[in-house]
């Protein structure tokens, strides 16, 4: 049945309304990016107020009577069935956001945005000074606000489920608990066996002084090799690496350079490149809609973790690119073989910092944050007790204890922005990426072969065709089932990690 003329007009008007909202969102993204990449400290207060004003306007549009009328008219049984797949999905997404946001008073939402904008800047200073007390009152207010929002939104089962669903639709504590417990059960013994191995990779060559300008040069070179489009993005510095996708033609990434570690910035850059490749290659027909983004944080993280670990930390990658890195640091790396470098960057060693953790113990970092967030929202853990509980969990899970809050409870930016429920997506990303990689190899052949030749276009194009171009048109479950032919299966990640690390440690 063809769309009638009145409906076509209504749809055009609705799409124009949504595009205006997206324009506000793009302006906000630029302002957030600026705050985290060098905005003057004295301007933070006024900037936060401006962000709050614009966010409030966008929020009001999302819950306005006009949006309500669009949703009511476009979801009528006789009308909704006439819409094509893209417009049906767009209406569904707007309705879900409308139903959820309508329950939050606009003034409360604006105050919350101002609070988190200020909190991110306070967090940066608190992290630098290792002073949790400085950040504590902001975090207490953020947690309290989220608890109030959860009561307004409503929840089933654990209160935390409402927050999980915001980042990974359909995910619950009831699903994650056994998944994480099973992963921990299988990976902890492997970590223990590795710790007993006599075949320990040498990492001394990684901890030297490495000129930052040369690091920047190499990071940009690798981004180009992987297919990052600099005409549709840029690379900057920030305290914590991140990616910001304004639209497919403007996807910015940042990294953090350390003078005593040549790989930290590089792998941070490749990680964010994975996010950016996703956002830069979403179908143009989705631009100006709420579907022009990744379908979930878990699927998004599957791409950052795939490119960082399964590509960037592979033996074939360094067989190809170590000569270029050695040319920049001949006196530092001149005598290091590709095999030594590969083993060195894949050393398994329980550590304090999540973003610098090896891919085997990384999931334990996520599980700690997951346990903490659950307790914050079921009332069994107070914000004031966070540093002590954090240190206790690191001792229990990883056998290490932070010497200060900067390398402990203050190390991540997420809570300052109110991103509770986000952390599990990192481990879900690891699970998705292993399963996607398994399917990709059946289609493209040995990935190591392609990497060794620098033929990343074949890999990227396969991902564009099967995942990237769809944006948010498909749910996470639909993506993984359509791409791999089965629901999420943790065995692929376990098999990948066991195969890789048993070989490295000669187990």
Binding residues for Zn(2+): 271, 275, 301
Catalytic residue of the set 120, 124, 168, 272? 272
Write the CA distances from 239 to 29, 123, 297, 411, 499, integer angstroms: 17, 10, 21, 10, 34
DSSP character for 337? Answer: -
Q: Report CA-CA distances (Å) from 467 to 77, 400, 472.
A: 30, 38, 10
Reported as half-sphere exposure (CB side, CA atoms, 13 A), residue 104 has a value of 25
Q: Could you tell me where the DSSP H helices lie in 63-131?
A: 65-74, 77-80, 85-101, 106-129
In contact, 291 and 471? CB cutoff 8 Å: yes
Q: Residue 328 corresponds to which tokens in the numbers above?
A: 């920049």
Binding annotation: 271, 275, 301
Structure-token pair, residue 58: 């966008």
Rounded CA gap, 408 and 348, in Å?
20
| Nearest by Cα to 416 from 123, 32, 140, 52 | 123
Q: Is 125 among the catalytic positions?
A: no
Count of C-beta atoms within a 10 Å radius of residue 113 = 22
43-50 — which CB contacts under 8 Å span 24+ positions?
A: 44/117, 44/118, 44/121, 45/118, 47/117, 48/114, 48/117, 48/118, 48/121, 49/114
- The catalytic residues are 272
């Amino acid at each position: 049945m063809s769309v009638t003329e009145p409906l076509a007009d209504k749809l055009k008007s609705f799409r124009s309304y949504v595009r205006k909202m997206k324009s506000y969102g793009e302006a906000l993204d630029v302002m957030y990016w600026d705050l985290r990449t060098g905005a003057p400290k004295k301007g933070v207060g006024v900037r936060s107020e401006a962000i709050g004003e614009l966010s409030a306007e966008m929020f009001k549009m999302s819950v306005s009577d006009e949006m309500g009328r669009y949703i009511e008219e476009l979801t009528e049984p006789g009308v909704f069935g006439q819409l094509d797949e893209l417009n049906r999905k767009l209406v569904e997404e707007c309705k879900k956001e409308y139903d959820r946001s309508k329950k939050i008073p606009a003034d409360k939402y604006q105050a919350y945005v101002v609070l988190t904008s200020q909190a991110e800047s306070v967090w940066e200073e608190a992290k630098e000074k290792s002073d949790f007390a400085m950040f504590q009152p902001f975090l207490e207010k953020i947690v309290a606000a989220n608890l109030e929002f959860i009561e307004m939104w409503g929840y089933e089962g654990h209160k935390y489920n409402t927050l999980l669903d915001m980042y990974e639709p359909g995910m619950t504590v009831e699903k994650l608990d056994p998944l994480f417990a099973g992963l921990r059960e299988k990976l902890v013994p492997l970590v223990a066996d590795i710790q007993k191995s006599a075949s320990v990779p040498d990492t001394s060559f990684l901890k030297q002084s490495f000129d930052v300008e040369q690091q920047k040069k190499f990071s940009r070179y690798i981004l180009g090799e992987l297919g990052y489009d600099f005409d549709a993005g840029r690379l900057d510095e920030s305290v914590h690496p991140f990616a910001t996708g304004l639209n497919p033609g403007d996807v910015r990434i940042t990294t953090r350079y350390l003078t005593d570690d040549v790989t930290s910035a590089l792998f941070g850059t490749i990680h964010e490149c994975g996010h950016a490749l996703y956002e830069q290659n979403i179908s143009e027909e989705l631009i100006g809609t709420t579907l022009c983004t990744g379908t979930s944080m878990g699927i998004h993280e599957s791409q950052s973790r795939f490119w960082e670990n399964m590509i960037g930390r592979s033996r074939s990658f360094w067989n190809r690119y170590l000569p270029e890195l050695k040319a920049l640091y001949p006196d530092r790396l001149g005598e290091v073989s590709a095999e030594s470098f590969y083993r060195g960057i894949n050393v398994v060693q329980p550590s304090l910092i999540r973003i610098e953790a090896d891919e085997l113990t990384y999931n334990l970092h996520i599980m700690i944050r997951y346990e903490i967030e659950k307790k914050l929202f079921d009332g069994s853990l107070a914000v004031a007790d966070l540093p002590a509980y954090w240190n206790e969990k690191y001792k229990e899970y990883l056998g290490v204890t932070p010497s200060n809050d900067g390398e402990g409870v203050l190390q991540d930016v997420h809570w300052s922005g109110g991103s509770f429920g986000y952390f599990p997506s990192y481990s879900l990303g690891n699970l998705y990426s292993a399963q996607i990689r398994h399917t990709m190899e059946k289609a493209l052949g040995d990935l190591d072969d392609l990497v060794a030749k620098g033929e990343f276009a074949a890999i990227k194009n396969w991902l564009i065709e099967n995942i990237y171009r769809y944006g948010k048109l498909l749910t996470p479950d639909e993506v993984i089932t359509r791409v791999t032919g089965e629901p999420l299966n943790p065995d692929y990640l376990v098999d990948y990690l066991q195969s890789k690390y048993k070989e490295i440690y000669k187990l």
